[in-house]
């Protein structure tokens, strides 16, 4: 008498579901890969670098991640709607120079200088959104053009050299040893946390957020669902430009003066934070994943700096992380094909 013996297949999970498929489903719901990567990197730093676990180092990581995460906020919104924004660096630099020049050189009030900077962001975002949507021009081309135009206008205005200094209060907002209402947490970290909560709630709990996802998934279907696709698209680019301008204002305090190239590193890094976090083009992901991406990249940057590795090594590692994430998500069908 013989009996059949079931042999467990290590490649399958419960109910015969392929293990890889199960892991992908979990990854879609919770960014497991990013959480594991962040934990592993931090543990590696604790075990190999003296003082890595100190409060000073932790706050330095959080401040850098806050600035990167805020720069990636607008890029996240644009990517979710199905576009891309290559003008973020120019708006960051413009906000930085405007606040430093108007306050430090021309002695404007802070409120008036901030209003001018934000107006530039709104106008530039409108140009990006309207041109790319109305004339069906690739957003990459439009945003590159706006970036070059804005950079040229700023350089013309300051005669090629920034001479202004930032208001003192901006320095306290971005200082790693700053306090928030007497609590020893850098203000920029609190600002980032508030922005993250607001964006997270807007994307998941409001009609505007649902319209954004619908537009990114399929514009034709979104129109049938009575979504004003044109407005959603344009508003996404305005939000991206305004958020980037705000990062430039904060960076004026971080650096202490105006700098026409201060936004350049954020062109690639903001998009890297979005992709490493797991947000993909066209209605896939959320801002919390970008938050994780910014934290991962900030820890990587600090580890490489502590080990005296070059910026080229940082670029290679960041590129490798992007390839891993894209490879993982690229195996899935697009969201529009699952609806």
- DSSP annotation string for 23-45: HHHHHHHS-HHHHHHHHHHHHHH
Lowest mean pLDDT among 95-109, 137-151, 309-323: 309-323
Give the integer Cα–Cα distance in Å for 10 and 102.
65
Alpha helices for 49-186 (secondary structure H): 55-80, 88-100, 110-134, 139-157, 168-174
Contact 242, 125 (CB under 8 A): yes
Residues 203-223, mean pLDDT to the nearest whole number: 94
Beta bridge partners of 180: 183
Confidence category of residue 23, pLDDT binned at 50, 70, 90: low
Report CA 41 to chain centroid distance, whole Å: 20
Place of tokens 């537009």: 215
- pTM, to two decimals: 0.88
pLDDT at residue 273, rounded to an integer? 94
User: Taking the CA atoms of the chain, what radius of gyration do you get in angstroms?
Assistant: 22
pLDDT at residue 12, rounded to an integer? 52
Give the integer Cα–Cα distance in Å for 265 and 88.
10
Give the integer Cα–Cα distance in Å for 192 and 65.
9
Residue 107 gets the label, from left (phi > 0), alpha (psi -120 to 50) or beta, of left
How is the chain split into domains, by residue range? 55-330
> What tens digit of pLDDT does each residue of 75-99 get?
999 999 999 999 999 999 999 999 9
> What tens digit of pLDDT does each residue of 40-56 get?
999 999 999 999 999 99
- Running DSSP on this structure, what letter comes out for residue 210? H
CATH number of 55-330: 1.10.3470
> What tens digit of pLDDT does each residue of 306-331 get?
887 777 777 787 788 778 777 766 55
């Amino acid at each position: 008498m013989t009996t059949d013996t079931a042999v467990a297949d290590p490649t399958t999970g419960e109910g015969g579901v392929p293990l890889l498929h199960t892991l992908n489903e979990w990854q879609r719901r919770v960014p497991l890969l990013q959480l594991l990567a962040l934990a592993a990197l931090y543990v590696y730093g604790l075990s190999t670098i003296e003082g890595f676990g100190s409060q000073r180092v932790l706050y330095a990581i959080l401040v850098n991640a806050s600035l990167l995460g805020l720069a990636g906020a607008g890029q996240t919104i644009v990517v979710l709607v199905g576009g891309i924004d290559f003008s973020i660096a120019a708006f960051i630099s413009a906000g930085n120079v405007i606040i430093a020049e108007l306050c430090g050189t021309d002695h404007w009030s802070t409120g008036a200088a901030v209003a001018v900077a934000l107006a530039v962001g709104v106008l530039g975002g409108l140009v990006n959104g309207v041109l790319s949507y109305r004339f069906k021009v690739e957003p990459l081309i439009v945003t590159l053009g706006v970036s070059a135009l804005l950079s040229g206008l700023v350089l013309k205005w300051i005669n090629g050299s920034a001479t202004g200094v930032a208001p003192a209060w901006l320095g306290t907002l971005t200082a790693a040893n700053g306090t928030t209402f007497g609590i020893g947490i850098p203000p920029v970290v609190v600002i980032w946390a508030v922005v993250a909560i607001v964006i997270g709630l807007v994307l998941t709990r409001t009609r505007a957020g649902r319209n954004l996802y619908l537009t990114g998934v399929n514009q034709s279907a979104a129109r049938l669902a009575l979504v004003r696709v044109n407005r959603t698209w344009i508003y996404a680019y305005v939000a991206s430009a305004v958020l980037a301008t705000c990062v430039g204002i904060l960076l004026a305090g971080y650096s202490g003066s105006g700098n026409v190239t201060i936004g350049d590193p954020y062109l690639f890094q903001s998009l890297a934070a979005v992709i490493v976090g797991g947000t993909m083009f066209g209605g896939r992901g959320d801002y919390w994943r970008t938050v994780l991406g910014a934290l991962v990249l900030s820890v990587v940057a600090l580890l490489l700096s502590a080990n005296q590795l070059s910026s080229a090594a940082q670029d290679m590692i960041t590129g490798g992380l992007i390839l891993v994430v894209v490879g993982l998500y690229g195996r899935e069908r697009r969201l529009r094909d699952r609806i």
